[in-house]
Amino acid sequence: MGNSEIISKAEELVRSAMKGNDASHDAAHAFRVRDLALSLAREEGLSNSAESILVVELAALLHDIGDHKYLRDPSEANLVHDFLQSEGVDGNAMIKILSIIKGMGFKDEIGGIAVTGNGHPEFGVVQDADRLDAVGAIGIARCFAFGGSRKHALHDPNVEPRSHLSRESYITSRDGEQTCVNHFHEKLLKLKGLMKTEAGKLRAQRRHKFMEEFLDEFYLEWDGRA
């Protein structure tokens, strides 16, 4: 089976598996991450390798399928593995894709857990693409879309952002303990400093600045000063 056919089937899987998710983690998110990842791959000099591009595109498309926040059935955790196997993806490429997806999470990085996909040059490209979609204008929209789906308050001046997050506290924190605005301080504003590629770092600077300007305006309007 050709790579284009595999990609088309991966796109179908994304649409099907992510159909019930809120707008912060829907199929459009996966497609944006794919486009960003391919763009970063070109800037990072990976476009000369057909295998690297396939790994980047599939890992980016499939990275959120089986996300613990949206699991409706335990079997969904194996969807990506089963898909790659059924489509006859080369063993080496399959290992890379699964390793990249496993190592992409913010929760593991703040917990000091070794990033399993980091041995592959494609890893930084895919992770940076996912993190770029979490910052800037799109990141702001996604933050409030997710918060709204979980009934988080927009902001509560009496709830301070958590300054020291562990992997466990990040995963297990209750919805009532979180606000949308605090998520900027607990995660989104930290992502610029966690970019792995030079191309990702450059793009993150602009998006990071936009978030800072948004928060400045938000606090002025919240307090009635604007």
**111 vs 50: CA distance, rounded Å:** 34
Question: What are residue 21's phi and psi, to 5 degrees?
Answer: -75, 155
C-alpha pair distances (Å), 139 with each of 34, 56, 122, 189, 208? 16, 21, 23, 11, 10
Q: With left for phi above 0 and alpha for psi between -120 and 50, is residue 144 left, alpha or beta?
A: alpha
Name the fold adopted by 3-222.
Hypothetical protein af1432 (1.10.3210)
Per-residue pLDDT of the chain (226 residues; tens, 9 = 90+): 689 999 999 999 999 999 999 999 999 999 999 999 999 999 999 999 999 999 999 999 999 998 888 888 887 889 999 999 999 999 999 999 999 999 988 866 765 554 555 678 999 999 999 999 999 999 999 999 999 999 999 999 999 998 776 555 555 555 557 899 999 999 999 999 999 999 999 999 999 999 999 999 999 999 999 8
Domain spans, the chain: 3-222
pLDDT of residue 92: 95
